[in-house]
Amino acid sequence: MEWSPAAFERAHREDKPILLRISAVWCHWCHVMDETTDAVPEVARRINEWFVPVRVDNDERPDVNARYNLGGWPTTAFLTPGGEMITGGTYFPAAQFEEILARVHEAWSGQRDQLEAEVEKIRARRRERPGPAPAGELDGSAMARVVEAALDAYDWRYGGFGTQPKFPQPETVRLLLHAWAGAGADAPREAAENTLVAMRTAGHAEGKTYGLYDHAAGGFFRYSTTRDWSLPHFEKMCEDNARHALAYLDAWRLTGNALYADTVRGIFGFVLGTLSAPAGGAYGSQDADGEAEYYGRALAERARMATPYIDRRFYTDWNGMMAAAALEAAAALDGAATSDSTRPSEAPRFDPGELRAWALRTVDRLTERLWSDAGMRHVLRPGAGDDEVDEGAPLLLGDQAWWLEALLAAYQATGDPKYRRRAEALARAAEAGFYDAARGACRDRREAPDVDGDVEGRGPEGHLADPVWPLAENAALAGALANLTALGGGNRWRERAAGILAALSAEGERHGLMGAGWALAVARVLAEPVQVHLVGHAADERLRALAQAAWSRYLPNRVVEILDPALDGDRLSALGYPAAGAPRAYVCIGDRCLVPVAEPAALVDQLASLTG
């Protein structure tokens, strides 16, 4: 059964525990457990006779995963009919799983009092968790402490953080680049650049087609099983590649190293060639099955082989990340030089205009299909008909945060006011539906409109009733709200963003290097925005050249607004800009504006003067 009120109702009615399996289509060991452990007839009999089996797809229900994951995928958890945890783990071979099934069944059938006493202890510990820490002050010292935590965890031999398995941390790398750009310190730069180069080039010197990066087809794998990035786990994720693209784009704009720009091109070459729908939308993932047998071959050889499975669902948060990254990359790299033929990749490239057009189609398509007055829904499934969208599924904070970012990116890329209007409406919906005034931050979920989730008066199923204020999603929302203010949405959104980040300051610092996204959002909110207003007709090639120049420098607090005299007369009047004349750029920092310029080179010089 799917996770639903009906599953819990059945467990109560039949007086059976729930056997919860959380898996993902890209998860290799999930497939192994399905095909081996669960295929044993005795295992299947025990599951079906003694339990109510419930399966959750991690990517479709991250709210369930956040509350029940036991350390990885697959997660195998035994729950009471009320959703309390009894026991569990991750992957189990058949013989071990048979024993666990028997033990839980015996405890439920013959030792109920003892089992319920243990469950009550767990419930009591959950009730006794300390309340949230009071809101802290937002200042640069918090960001500095997260930078220090990142440097403490940095692997000075191979780059990255920790040992093995080694997961990339693109936000941490971006934070180190930000720290270097702001203070000029050597340690953050060395850690960031060594990590970026190591992740990108691992395996190439040995003649392999892969390390963490796929040198043949482009794009990054999810993580490395080894400390030196040489042996990846071979799934490729939409969200990971969007995050990598932003990190390498930041590094290229700071250093001018063509390897970083080529890496961004390789990522989006892979996305457009493999992970995208022509009508718009980025697929969720390409899974790991096939491993080195497929990925160890050159691109021409792969073309003759079966492609590893692609999850063709469109997840709102991941598509928001990807569309925003694609629009920024398309603008920044339009006309930028590439490195020479010695670059360590044969990966496909992309045309910036094609990437921009696809990203805008993505924003338009998913907005049309997944929009509701209460916020963006989570997933668009492939196919035709009503089954494409589950209108009864909960709405999730991450979708609102990253789709707000995508709408604002589309507005900055085009100047079309429809994107700004949608962004303002989504910000209002997120505040109304997710903001918890008592906590000062946003919860991770809300029920879909007209769905109360109630089962016999028990409220949302299991631990879904427990409030969760996720750090990463709140940080993403705060950053987007700060941009909305800078683009003329009103100062209240920046104030809301600052309040959210302050409310989560203790969590942000406690997370150490994993709080890098929060620290970046703090920097974004505290810094005076650099507003680049481009005045001219959107179709004018001279304006396009100014737009490329506007995005070419590293300025993490920059926003770009295209103001077309034919569409934005009121906005131009409010800003005091003349509507007539050749396209020109106005750069403003707070109340201070630089002299308007009409040449891209002059605009680049102005922006360079702001970065030191």
Q: Are residues 479 and 535 in the same domain?
A: no
Q: Are residues 349 and 229 in the same domain?
A: yes
Torsion angles phi and psi, residue 175, rounded to 5? -65, -40
Residue 379: inside a domain, yes or no? no
Residue 380: inside a domain, yes or no? no
How many whole angstroms separate alpha carbon 338 and alpha carbon 262?
Answer: 7
Q: Which of 508, 449, 451, 448 is nearest to 474 (CA)?
A: 508
Looking at the DSSP bridge assignments, the partners of residue 286 are: 236, 310
Average pLDDT score over residue span 90-94: 97
Residue 132: inside a domain, yes or no? no
Torsion angles phi and psi, residue 555, rounded to 5? -145, 90
Q: Are residues 170 and 216 in the same domain?
A: yes
pTM over 0.85: yes
Residue 578: inside a domain, yes or no? yes
Q: List pLDDT tens digits, range 338-355.
A: 655 445 556 667 799 999
Average pLDDT score over residue span 178-202: 95
CB 330 within 8 A of CB 258: no
Q: Which two tokens stand for residue 504?
A: 């989560």
Q: Are residues 44 and 189 in the same domain?
A: no
Q: Are residues 425 and 499 in the same domain?
A: yes
Classify burial at 286, counting beta carbons within 10 Å of its beta carbon; exposed 0-12, middle 13-18, buried 19 or more: buried
576/292: higher pLDDT: 576
Residue 306: inside a domain, yes or no? yes
Q: What is the dihedral of CA 79, 85, 88, 90, to 10 degrees?
A: 100
551: containing domain: 530-611
Stated as kind and residue range, the H or E segment containing 10 is helix 5-14
Q: Are residues 180 and 315 in the same domain?
A: yes
CB 444 within 8 A of CB 66: yes
Band the pLDDT of 453: cuts 50, 70, 90: very low
Q: Are residues 511 and 548 in the same domain?
A: no
Residue 378: inside a domain, yes or no? no
Q: Are residues 470 and 585 in the same domain?
A: no
Give the CATH number for residue 522.
1.50.10.20
Q: Are residues 552 and 594 in the same domain?
A: yes
> 190-203 burial string, b = 16+ CB within 10 Å, else e?
bbbbbbbbbbbbbb
Q: Which of 392, 236, 247, 396 is nearest to 317 (CA)?
A: 396
Looking at the chain, the whole-number percentage of residues with pLDDT higher than 70 is 94
Q: Are residues 398 and 357 in the same domain?
A: no
Band the pLDDT of 457: cuts 50, 70, 90: very low
Give the CATH number for residue 17.
3.40.30.10
Q: Which two tokens stand for residue 559?
A: 């926003």
Looking at the DSSP bridge assignments, the partners of residue 558 are: 530
Classify burial at 307, counting beta carbons within 10 Å of its beta carbon; exposed 0-12, middle 13-18, buried 19 or more: exposed
Cis omega before residue 417 (within 30°)? Answer: no
Q: Are residues 394 and 368 in the same domain?
A: no
Last residue of a domain, one of 341, 372, 403: 372
How many whole angstroms separate alpha carbon 608 and alpha carbon 596?
Answer: 15
Beta strands in 536-579 (DSSP E): 558-563
Residue 92: inside a domain, yes or no? yes
Q: Which of 247, 102, 86 is nearest to 169 (CA)?
A: 247
Last residue of a domain, one of 342, 372, 402: 372
Residue 203 has pLDDT above 90, yes or no: yes
Average pLDDT score over residue span 154-177: 97
Q: Which of 493, 330, 535 is nearest to 404 (CA)?
A: 493
Residue 341: inside a domain, yes or no? yes
Q: List pLDDT tens digits, range 352-392.
A: 999 999 999 999 999 999 999 999 999 999 876 665 998 88
Last residue of a domain, one of 487, 503, 527: 527
- DSSP helix/strand/coil, 310: strand
In the numeric block, the tokens 């505040």 are attached to: 431
Band the pLDDT of 535: cuts 50, 70, 90: very high
Q: How far apart are the first and last CA of the chain?
A: 59
Please give the tally of structural domains in the chain: 4
Q: Are residues 222 and 339 in the same domain?
A: yes
